[in-house]
Structure 1
Amino acid sequence: MYAISLGDDGAELRPLEPWRAEEFLAHVDRGREFIGRFIALPDAAEDLPAARSFLQSYAEKTASDTGRILGIWADGELVGGVLLRTMDVGQGTAEAGCWLEPSAVGRGLVSRAVRVLIDWAVEERGIHRVEWQVSSANDASIAVARRLGMTRDGVLRQSYLYRGQRHDIEVWSVLAPEWRAARRAS
């Protein structure tokens, strides 16, 4: 197994594999309501078999090079994660996403972890366009997109039915040349 340091505070990014289903479920349970405000992850991990199945689906995406999921550990505890929900190497496109439990909010963990993920996608897998799709009501996730230097491409009005309500989805993106230029400038 490997771990990628996310900075001096000891936070790490590690693969989130099916054998970690119990730890993943405990993490989701700690933040179930908070995480579920905008994304369906808690609905996909309601119990241990479902959590294992969710992680297995990403193990299969990893094996087929069509997605990735990585956990964020802080102080030795799983507190969140980042993922490439979709990845099409042939087209050079991917959609990144994230989640975090309340205890880890405000530490910059998601921004640092997504930077590692986008670096990998762009530099190792040749992805040209990374998208970030977010509910228009999710101010924290929109702030991450801005911090990452993404451009707001537009709004898909009432395009996402979630828990009985329609939500506007903002589409943000960064292109490989923009990403590389911003990384060089920093």
Structure 2
Amino acid sequence: MLSHPLTSDAELRALEPWRAPEFAEFIAAHRDHLAPWLPWAVRLTDVDATRAWLQAYAERQARDEGRIYGIWQHGVLVGGTLFRVFDHASGTAEIGVWLAPDAQGQGLITRAATHMIDWVVRERGMHRVEWRTVPTNAASIACAERLGMHLDGRLRECFPHGGVRHDALVYSLLAPEWTAR
């Protein structure tokens, strides 16, 4: 199995379609925590829908257009990260993350995102990595800033979710900034 250690008891590895039952269980257990920020946490309500979503990411990966990973701690799925956008033509990738409440505060997302950014910049040659979040997600904003990302601006009411149009903050990091760290 391919994995990347994040800590002595946590690792990052591919979140593949065969893991749909485990991921569906994770979503169900943490839906209230995830739903304010992540539309898929509202939509994925059963194993079949979850498998189809993970399969779509597997197909995107096969086309080199996206990737999705899980974070396991003590062998239990506690979060994940993905490249929602993976655009070679523009040299831009957008990273997204999520984490169970009881796994917060341990640096797991920062470590996972660091690994993914390093890979996408150094191995895949992407020039720009984006991070988008709503202005009320303080943990997401803090993580983007820990990663050295810069606030590019606010996209007003661009994110319809839960019957409301939310603003999105766009953070970015350029390859030269990352490699100079």
TM-score of the two chains, using structure 2 as the length reference? 0.97
Give the distance between the partners of 1:147 and 1:42, measured in 2 at CA: 25
Quick one: percent identity of the two aligned structures? Answer: 50
Unaligned runs of 5+ in 2: none
Using the TM superposition, give the Cα deviation of residue 7 of structure 1 relative to its aligned residue in structure 2, in angstroms.
Answer: 2.1
1:65 aligns to 2:60 (yes or no): no
| Counterpart AA for 2:3 | A
Give the distance between the partners of 2:128 and 2:158, measured in 1 at CA: 21
Q: 4+ runs of 1 displaced by more than 2 Å?
A: none
**2:142 corresponds to which residue?**
143
Moved more, 32-41 or 128-137: 32-41
Give the distance between the partners of 1:29 and 1:96, measured in 2 at CA: 23
Give the distance between the partners of 2:156 and 2:145, measured in 1 at CA: 20
**1:5 corresponds to which residue?**
5
**2:113 corresponds to which residue?**
114
Q: Do the aligned partners of 1:44 and 1:54 also contact (CA within 8 Å) in 2? A: no
**1:102 corresponds to which residue?**
101
Give the distance between the partners of 2:109 and 2:42, measured in 1 at CA: 21
**1:32 corresponds to which residue?**
31
Aligned residues: 181
- Write out per-residue CA displacement over residues 111-144 of structure 1, whole angstroms, 9 at most, x where no aligned residue: 1000111111111111100000100110000001
Give the distance between the partners of 1:110 and 1:45, measured in 2 at CA: 22
TM-score of the two chains, using structure 1 as the length reference? 0.95
SS in 1 for 2:180: helix
- What is the aligned-residue RMSD (CA, Å)? 0.9
Give the distance between the partners of 1:108 and 1:41, measured in 2 at CA: 24
Unaligned runs of 5+ in 1: none
| Counterpart AA for 2:25 | A
| Counterpart AA for 1:44 | R
Q: Do the aligned partners of 1:92 and 1:127 also contact (CA within 8 Å) in 2? A: yes
| Counterpart AA for 2:179 | R
Using the TM superposition, give the Cα deviation of residue 44 of structure 1 relative to its aligned residue in structure 2, in angstroms.
Answer: 3.2
